[in-house]
Chain A
Amino acid sequence: MKKEKEKEEGKTVPLGGVITKAGSAADYFTGGWRKLRPVVDKGKCTNCLICWVMCPDSAVIVEDGKLVGFDLEHCKGCGICAVECPDKVKAIKMEEEAG
């Protein structure tokens, strides 16, 4: 019944496309867009966390004040983290996903 009604009237969607749930962007996995993957050399990393500040997708995972990795479900591979990593450190490299 519900399916039939849906077919006839279309799905019910919130008026004007409003999203009333905060943080719902996390439900959308932008990781599928990625062509380059960030890889961190923990031997060089100073945990300055500039990458965490600059990441537009909140995909830098930090635990106890230390960079522990990347959330690859949301990382689009933009490479901002690798660029922003200080010149004297350069602990993050972008590698080809298909490489």
Chain B
Amino acid sequence: MEPATKTKKQVGLTGNSAVAYAMKQIDPDVCAAYPITPSTQIVEDFSSYYADGKVGTELITVESEHSAMSACIGAAAAGARVMTTTSSQGLALMWEMLYVASGLRLPVVMTVVNRALSAPISIQCDHSDSMGARDSGWIQIYSETVQEAYDNLFQALRVAEDARVLTPAMVCMDGFITSHAIENIALLDDSEVKDFIGEYRPKRSLLDVDNPITLGAMTLQDSYMDFKHEQSKAIAGAKAVVAEVGKEFGERFGRSYGLMECYRLEDAEAVVIVLNSAAGTTKVAIDRLRDKGTKVGLLKPRLFRPFPHEEIASALAGTKAVCVLDRADSMSGFGGPLFSEVRSALYGRKGCPPVIGRIFGLGGRDYTVEHAFGVFGELYDILEKGKVEKPFGYLKP
């Protein structure tokens, strides 16, 4: 990805304010949301836009996140452009409805401000919320910075509503670290947003009484699997659309997006793979290590669902040791979700490098440049000794 060089309309915003502003610019037909830390400010800001008459949105204040997603599904089934936002327990409470939105192929777009799950209770960042929803049939796009969270929202909308995809999408960013940090970002003009997202014209609507439809009918052994097969193919196909939309975004506004970001990866021996804000910290460590002549690099997946397994495996060709940092433990006993995916993507490839997995940053535990140095140190230990002693473990504090 190219750096965000365009300085037009630079303004200092928190991740939450930037997302709320993006939602104001998108001006969706319906927003049903229930505020929860650390995404609360998105709902607060958007409510102000609504109260001030700055959006034409129907804002539904619901009694829970389960209701929020249910209302989003109903509105989307009626043919509306629908957006919402949540975090942590809120996403967990939406669980069963997430599958309904994706199974009915309704392009709801949701910002997830990543936060740990109870128990014990924590309001700080980790990825257990969105990672738990990784098999719910939603597209997942991760954002390192406020700028990315802002840009990703418009792109997620385009991808979700694309006739080839028609699948809901979530845009994730780190709670507090990104959601509450003020960053200087470049905003788009309202007209640029309108041109980019276009009008949403769904092919069917529950409110179209001339063409009545049934949604959510029962399927039996003869058809359920076929629906799931179609859905699986559609989300896999979203990968090409994400790349296409990211390229178009770059052509229009100067900031291109791919399926992942490769940072100083071309000739790298030791590579760290990590999502969201921790990528920024890792880049600082890489610059310092590179200054000393060490060949280190970063691969930051942007798209996690669908998982770009071929592209990631190809990007890692020629590397000698890889560490996948997961900000969520799948409690499987063998690695976090990103680790499992990356290792599986590499399996059977010629010259597959050793891959280790480390869990870090749970419940907001700090991840510093020193930690990144430690991870690269571990990778060079593996290269020296020629063997992996601990394929999976927790990062030392």
The interface bits of chain A over 1-39 (1 if a CB of B lies within 8 angstroms of the residue's CB, else 0) are: 000000000111101111110101000000000000000
The interface bits of chain B over 80-116 (1 if a CB of A lies within 8 angstroms of the residue's CB, else 0) are: 0000000000000000000000011110000000000
Q: Does B334 contact A (CB under 8 A)?
A: no
Q: Is the CB of A17 within 8 A of B213?
A: no
Q: Is the CB of B214 within 8 A of A19?
A: yes
**Cβ-closest chain A residue relative to B214:** A19
Q: Chain A's interface: helix, strand, loop or mixed, by majority?
A: loop
Which A residues lie within 8 Å of B215 (CB)?
16-18
Which B residues lie within 8 Å of A16 (CB)?
103-106, 166, 215
Q: Does B221 contact A (CB under 8 A)?
A: no
Residue with the greatest number of chain B CB neighbours at <10 A, chosen from A12, A18, A19, A24 = A18
Which A residues lie within 8 Å of B217 (CB)?
17, 19
Which A residues lie within 8 Å of B219 (CB)?
17
The interface bits of chain B over 217-236 (1 if a CB of A lies within 8 angstroms of the residue's CB, else 0) are: 10100010111011000000
**Cβ-closest chain B residue relative to A18:** B213
A17 vs B234: C-alpha distance when bound (angstroms): 14
Known: A17-B219, A19-B213. A11 touches B226 (CB 8 A): yes
Known: A15-B105, A15-B166. A20 touches B213 (CB 8 A): yes
Partner of A10, one of B104, B105, B229: B229
Q: Is the CB of A20 within 8 A of B211?
A: yes
Chain B nearest CB, measured from A61 CB (Å): 24
Q: Is the CB of A18 within 8 A of B214?
A: yes
Chain A nearest CB, measured from B292 CB (Å): 53
List B residues 362-384 near A (Cβ within 8 Å).
none
Q: Is the CB of A17 within 8 A of B211?
A: no
Q: Does B293 contact A (CB under 8 A)?
A: no
Which B residues lie within 8 Å of A12 (CB)?
226, 230
Which A residues lie within 8 Å of B103 (CB)?
16-17
Q: Does B212 contact A (CB under 8 A)?
A: yes
Which B residues lie within 8 Å of A20 (CB)?
204, 211-213
**Cβ-closest chain B residue relative to A16:** B105
A11 vs B229: C-alpha distance when bound (angstroms): 9
Chain B nearest CB, measured from A24 CB (Å): 7
Q: Is the CB of A18 within 8 A of B204?
A: yes
Q: Does B120 contact A (CB under 8 A)?
A: no
Known: A11-B223, A22-B212, A24-B214. A17 touches B104 (CB 8 A): yes
Chain B nearest CB, measured from A89 CB (Å): 35
Which A residues lie within 8 Å of B229 (CB)?
10
Q: Does B216 contact A (CB under 8 A)?
A: yes
A19 vs B213: C-alpha distance when bound (angstroms): 5
Q: Is the CB of B227 within 8 A of A17?
A: yes
Q: Is the CB of B211 within 8 A of A13?
A: no
Which B residues lie within 8 Å of A11 (CB)?
223, 226
Partner of A15, one of B211, B214, B216, B230: B230
A15 vs B213: C-alpha distance when bound (angstroms): 12
Q: Is the CB of A13 within 8 A of B104?
A: no
Which A residues lie within 8 Å of B166 (CB)?
15-16
**Cβ-closest chain A residue relative to B220:** A28
A22 vs B223: C-alpha distance when bound (angstroms): 19
Which B residues lie within 8 Å of A10 (CB)?
225-226, 229-230
Which A residues lie within 8 Å of B230 (CB)?
10, 12-13, 15
A11 vs B214: C-alpha distance when bound (angstroms): 20
A19 vs B217: C-alpha distance when bound (angstroms): 8
**Cβ-closest chain B residue relative to A13:** B226
Q: Is the CB of A13 within 8 A of B204?
A: no
The residues of B with any CB-CB pair to A shorter than 8 Å are 103-106, 166, 204, 211-217, 219, 223, 225-227, 229-230
Which are the 10 A-B pairs with shortest beta-carbon distances? A16-B105, A19-B214, A10-B229, A11-B226, A16-B104, A13-B226, A18-B213, A10-B226, A19-B217, A22-B212
29 CB < 8 A contacts A-B? A10-B226, A10-B229, A10-B230, A11-B223, A11-B226, A13-B223, A13-B226, A15-B105, A15-B166, A15-B230, A16-B104, A16-B105, A16-B106, A16-B215, A17-B103, A17-B104, A17-B216, A17-B219, A17-B227, A18-B104, A18-B204, A18-B213, A18-B214, A19-B214, A19-B217, A20-B204, A20-B211, A20-B213, A24-B214
8 further contact pairs, Cβ within 8 A, besides A17-B219, A18-B214: A10-B226, A11-B223, A13-B226, A15-B105, A17-B215, A17-B217, A20-B211, A22-B212
